[in-house]
């Protein structure tokens, strides 16, 4: 196993452990939900605020449940191309059928355009995921075929962003003011 693969697996393991505790919120019927996040709420790994850090600070995340695809778009105050760092954008999904999936988009200096790993709690799920990281436009977009989620009636989402350097890890989520999300979206029905 090469060093890049080992690093990615370590990042995925760290993020998976960090975003484990989630609770549900009320339901609503929509084909698209946009969660707006206050800026200036980036945290370091011990939960304290990271004043002045705008890289990886969400402004909003939209969850669009289309007939054939699920489109997740995260917009940031600033999204810097990794040079001596890495980033992870993770979105968790729960469906009415009980399916659970996580999409991890990972980028670093060696692969700044990123790669998305997609799976459930136990294993990787093979799926044709399309990710686009737009550093100029400060956005990440992930498109997942709906069949990868077993064609659900509705999906609930939660997302998370982490930036890794040698000296520290910073986190943000669009759902509340903490480092770890404590809520899911309401139900997002397909259009």
At 56 the pLDDT is 95
Which of 152, 174, 189, 154 minimizes the C-alpha distance to 56?
A: 174
All structural domains of the chain: 3-189 (2.60.40)
pLDDT band of 165, cuts 50, 70, 90: confident
In terms of pLDDT, which residue wins out, 156 or 121? 156
d(CA 171, CA 106): 14
- Measured CA distances, 167 to 16, 138, 164, 180 (Å): 20, 23, 8, 20
Q: Return the SS3 of 28.
A: coil
Instruction: For residue range 66-116, list pLDDT tens digits in order.
Output: 999 999 999 999 999 999 899 999 999 999 999 999 999 999 999 999 999
DSSP calls for 107-162: EETTEEEEEEEEE-SSSB-----EEEEETTTTEEEEEEEGGGGTS-SEEEEEEEEE
Unique residue bearing structure tokens 């009980």? 98
- For the cut 70, the answer to whether the pLDDT of residue 41 exceeds it is yes
Give every CB contact of residue 48 below 8 A, 6+ residues apart in sequence.
none
């Amino acid at each position: 196993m090469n060093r890049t693969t080992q690093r990615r697996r370590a990042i995925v393991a760290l993020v998976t452990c960090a975003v484990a505790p989630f609770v549900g919120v009320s339901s609503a019927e929509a084909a698209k939900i946009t969660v707006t996040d206050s800026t200036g709420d980036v945290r370091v790994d011990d939960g304290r605020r990271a004043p002045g850090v705008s890289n990886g600070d969400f402004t909003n995340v939209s969850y669009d449940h289309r007939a054939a695809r699920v489109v997740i778009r995260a917009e940031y105050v600033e999204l810097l191309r990794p040079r001596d760092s890495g980033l992870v954008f993770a979105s968790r999904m729960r469906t009415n059928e009980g399916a659970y999936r996580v999409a991890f988009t990972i980028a670093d200096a060696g692969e700044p355009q990123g790669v998305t790993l997609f799976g459930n709690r136990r294993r990787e799920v093979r799926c044709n995921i399309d990710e686009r990281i737009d550093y100029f436009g400060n956005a990440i977009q992930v498109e997942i075929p709906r069949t990868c989620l077993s064609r659900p009636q509705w999906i609930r989402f939660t997302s998370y962003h982490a930036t890794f350097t040698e000296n520290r890890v910073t986190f943000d989520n669009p759902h509340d003011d903490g480092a770890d999300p404590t809520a899911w979206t309401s139900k997002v029905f397909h259009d």
